[in-house]
C-alpha cells in the first residue's frame, strides 16, 4: 500500500508538473509574442519619419524654452528630433488672423503629420487652413467659447489639447485682490473683447466681482494701444485692475508692460495672467505653468502621432498654477502684501 501510495504520488506529481510546464511554455510563448509585437511597433515607429508643424504665439526671442520642452517630452515618447521626427516651427507676434493664416498655410505646404499650436487665435488660424491635419493646442483659455472644439469630453473635430482654465483663474485673481484690498470697491476688468473667450467670461466675472464686494467695470481695450483707455478708467476711480488678456502668450508683451507701467504710476494694484509681467514690474500674477502645459499637450500630441483621433481625445485642463508677487513694486505703490498671500506665493521677486 505504501509503495502504491508513493507510486500514485509520483505519478500525480509528474502529471501536475507536466501540466505546469505546458502552461509555462504557453505563457512564455505568449510573452515572447507580445514582446515581439511591442518590438515591431517600436521598430515601425523608429523607422517611420514624423513631421510636426509648430506655431508659437510668442516673439522669436522668447519661444526657445517652450520649443525645447516640446521636443524633450516628445522624445520621451519615442519621437526624437533629428532621428524619426522633424519639428518645423514658426512664431507670430500679434500680426492678426490673416497673417497667421498665411504662416499656417506655409507650414502646411510641407504636409505635416500634426500641428501644434498655442493660444486660441493661432489655433483658429491653423484650423482655418488645416482642415484634415490633426491639431493639438496649449495656452487656450476656453476652447469651447473660442469655437475650437464642440465639447471638452468629445471635441468632435480635428483639434484637442490643454485648456488654461481661464474662468477659474480669473475668479481666483479677484479673490486675491479682495484679500489684498479688503475695503476697495471699484475693480477694472481690462481686456480686448474681440477675443470670444474674454467676452464670454465677462458675465461670470462680473457676478464673481460683486460676490467679493467689488463694483466691476469692464474696459474694452479693443485693437488699439490700451494706455489711454486704462488711464481714463483709473481717472474714473478704478481702485484695482484685473488684466484678462495674456499679453506675453500673444506676442504683445510690450503692450502688457505699458499697462504695468501705467498701473504703477497711478499706484493702482494690478494682477495679471502671466509671471513675465511681474518680472517686468507688475504687482502680482496667478497663472498656469506654461512649460508644464506644453509638456501635457506634447503627451496628447504623441497619442495623435500614433494614430489617435483628436475628436475622441478629451481636452485636458492645466493642473499647475503659480502665484508670483513683486515686493519691490508693492513698496513703490504703497501696498502691504498680506502674509496669507506671501505664504502662498510660488515666486517672490524683489526681496
Which of 58-62, 92-96, 178-182 is least confident? Answer: 92-96
C-alpha span between 191 and 199 (Å, rounded): 9
C-alpha span between 5 and 202 (Å, rounded): 87
10 Å Cβ neighbour count for 238? 26
- Within-domain flag for 31: no
The pLDDT, as a whole number, for residue 27 is: 47
Do 125 and 248 fall within a single domain?
no
Which position has the higher pLDDT, 233 or 18? 233
The pLDDT, as a whole number, for residue 41 is: 46
Q: Write out the three cell numbers for 103.
A: 504662416
Tell the residue number behind the cell numbers 522669436, with chain if given.
Answer: 60
Q: Write out the three cell numbers for 89.
A: 516651427
The pLDDT, as a whole number, for residue 39 is: 45
pLDDT at 302 over 70: yes
Which position has the higher pLDDT, 214 or 191? 214
- Within-domain flag for 11: no
- Within-domain flag for 6: no
- Within-domain flag for 21: no
* CA distances, 56 to each of 83, 123, 137, 177, 273 (Å): 23, 10, 10, 31, 18
> How many H helices and E strands in the chain?
12, 13
List pLDDT tens digits, range 236-249.
888 999 998 877 76
Do 307 and 228 fall within a single domain?
no
Instruction: List 48's β-bridge partners, or say none.
Output: none
Do 148 and 180 fall within a single domain?
no
Q: How many domains does the chain have?
A: 2
Do 271 and 301 fall within a single domain?
no
Backbone phi, psi, residue 57, to 5°: -95, 65
Do 145 and 178 fall within a single domain?
no
Q: Write out the three cell numbers for 315.
A: 481636452
Find the angle CA(160)-CA(274)-CA(223) to the nearest 5 degrees.
Answer: 80
pLDDT at 44 over 80: no
C-alpha span between 222 and 226 (Å, rounded): 8
- Within-domain flag for 14: no
C-alpha span between 212 and 210 (Å, rounded): 5
C-alpha span between 7 and 21 (Å, rounded): 21
Backbone phi, psi, residue 162, to 5°: -120, 130
The pLDDT, as a whole number, for residue 312 is: 96
Q: Which residues contact 28 (CB under 8 A, 6 or more apart)?
A: none
10 Å Cβ neighbour count for 184? 18
10 Å Cβ neighbour count for 342? 13
Do 174 and 282 fall within a single domain?
yes
Residues 257 and 280 sit within 8 Å (Cβ to Cβ): yes
Average pLDDT in the 243-256 region? Answer: 76
Q: Which residues of 58-90 are buried (b: 16+ CB within 10 A; e: fewer)?
A: bbeebbeebbebbbebbbebbbebeebbebebb
The torsion defined by the Cα of 191, 194, 197 and 202, in degrees rounded to 10, comes to: 60
pLDDT at 37 over 50: no
- Within-domain flag for 40: no
- Within-domain flag for 34: no
C-alpha span between 80 and 72 (Å, rounded): 8
Do 233 and 270 fall within a single domain?
yes
Instruction: List 43's β-bridge partners, or say none.
Output: none
Q: Write out the three cell numbers for 116.
A: 501644434
- The domain in which residue 58 lies consists of 48-165+291-317
C-alpha span between 103 and 57 (Å, rounded): 12
Do 112 and 228 fall within a single domain?
no
Average pLDDT in the 304-321 region? Answer: 94
Do 183 and 124 fall within a single domain?
no
Which position has the higher pLDDT, 90 or 116? 116
Average pLDDT, the chain: 84
The pLDDT, as a whole number, for residue 225 is: 58
Average pLDDT in the 44-63 region? Answer: 81
What pTM, to 2 d.p., does this model score? 0.80
Supply the CATH number for residue 234's domain.
3.40.50.2300
Residues 155 and 195 sit within 8 Å (Cβ to Cβ): no
Residue 21's pLDDT band, with cuts at 50, 70 and 90, is very low
Which of 53-57, 98-102, 130-134 is least confident? Answer: 98-102
Do 99 and 219 fall within a single domain?
no
The pLDDT, as a whole number, for residue 46 is: 54
Residues 144 and 123 sit within 8 Å (Cβ to Cβ): no
C-alpha span between 81 and 158 (Å, rounded): 24
Closest among 130, 132, 136 to 155, alpha carbons compared: 136
List pLDDT tens digits, range 260-299.
998 999 999 999 988 889 999 999 999 988 899 999 999 9
Do 221 and 327 fall within a single domain?
yes
Backbone phi, psi, residue 235, to 5°: -65, -30
Which of 54-58, 92-96, 120-124, 233-237 is least confident? Answer: 92-96
Do 159 and 228 fall within a single domain?
no
Q: Write out the three cell numbers for 15.
A: 502529471
The pLDDT, as a whole number, for residue 192 is: 84
Q: Which residues contact 317 (CB under 8 A, 6 or more apart)?
A: 152, 162, 163, 165
- Within-domain flag for 13: no
**In this prediction, what percent of the chain has a pLDDT beyond 90?**
54
pLDDT at 181 over 70: yes
Amino acid at each position: 500500500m505504501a509503495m502504491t501510495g508513493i507510486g500514485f504520488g509520483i505519478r500525480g506529481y509528474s502529471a501536475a508538473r507536466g501540466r505546469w510546464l505546458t502552461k509555462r511554455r504557453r505563457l512564455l510563448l505568449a510573452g515572447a509574442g507580445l514582446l515581439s509585437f511591442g518590438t515591431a511597433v517600436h521598430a515601425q515607429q523608429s523607422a517611420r519619419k514624423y513631421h510636426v508643424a509648430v506655431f508659437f504665439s510668442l516673439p522669436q526671442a522668447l519661444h526657445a524654452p517652450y520649443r525645447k520642452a516640446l521636443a524633450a517630452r516628445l522624445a520621451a515618447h519615442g519621437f526624437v528630433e533629428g532621428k524619426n521626427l522633424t519639428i518645423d516651427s514658426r512664431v507670430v507676434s500679434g500680426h492678426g488672423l490673416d497673417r497667421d493664416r498665411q504662416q499656417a498655410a506655409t507650414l502646411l505646404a510641407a504636409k505635416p503629420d500634426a500641428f501644434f499650436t498655442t493660444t486660441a487665435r493661432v489655433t483658429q488660424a491653423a484650423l482655418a487652413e488645416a482642415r484634415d491635419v490633426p491639431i493639438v493646442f496649449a495656452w487656450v483659455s476656453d476652447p469651447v467659447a473660442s469655437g475650437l472644439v464642440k465639447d471638452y469630453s468629445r471635441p468632435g473635430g480635428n483639434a484637442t489639447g490643454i485648456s488654461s482654465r481661464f474662468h477659474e483663474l480669473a475668479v481666483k485673481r479677484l479673490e486675491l485682490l479682495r484679500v489684498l484690498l479688503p475695503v476697495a470697491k471699484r475693480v477694472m476688468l481690462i481686456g480686448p473683447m474681440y477675443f470670444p473667450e474674454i467676452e464670454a467670461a465677462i458675465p461670470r466675472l462680473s457676478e464673481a466681482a460683486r460676490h467679493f464686494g467689488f463694483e466691476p467695470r469692464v474696459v474694452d481695450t479693443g485693437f488699439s494701444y490700451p494706455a489711454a483707455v486704462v488711464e481714463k478708467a483709473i481717472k474714473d476711480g478704478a481702485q484695482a485692475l484685473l488684466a484678462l488678456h495674456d499679453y506675453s502668450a500673444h506676442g504683445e508683451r510690450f503692450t502688457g508692460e505699458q499697462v504695468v507701467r501705467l498701473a504703477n504710476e497711478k499706484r493702482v494694484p494690478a494682477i495679471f495672467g502671466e509671471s513675465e509681467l511681474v518680472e517686468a514690474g507688475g504687482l502680482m500674477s496667478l497663472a498656469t505653468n506654461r512649460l508644464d502645459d506644453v509638456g501635457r499637450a506634447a503627451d496628447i500630441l504623441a497619442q495623435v502621432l500614433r494614430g489617435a483621433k483628436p475628436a475622441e481625445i478629451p481636452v485636458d485642463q492645466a493642473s499647475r498654477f503659480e502665484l508670483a508677487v513683486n515686493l519691490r513694486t508693492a513698496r513703490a505703490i504703497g501696498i502691504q502684501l498680506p502674509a496669507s498671500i506671501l505664504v502662498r506665493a510660488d515666486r517672490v521677486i524683489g526681496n
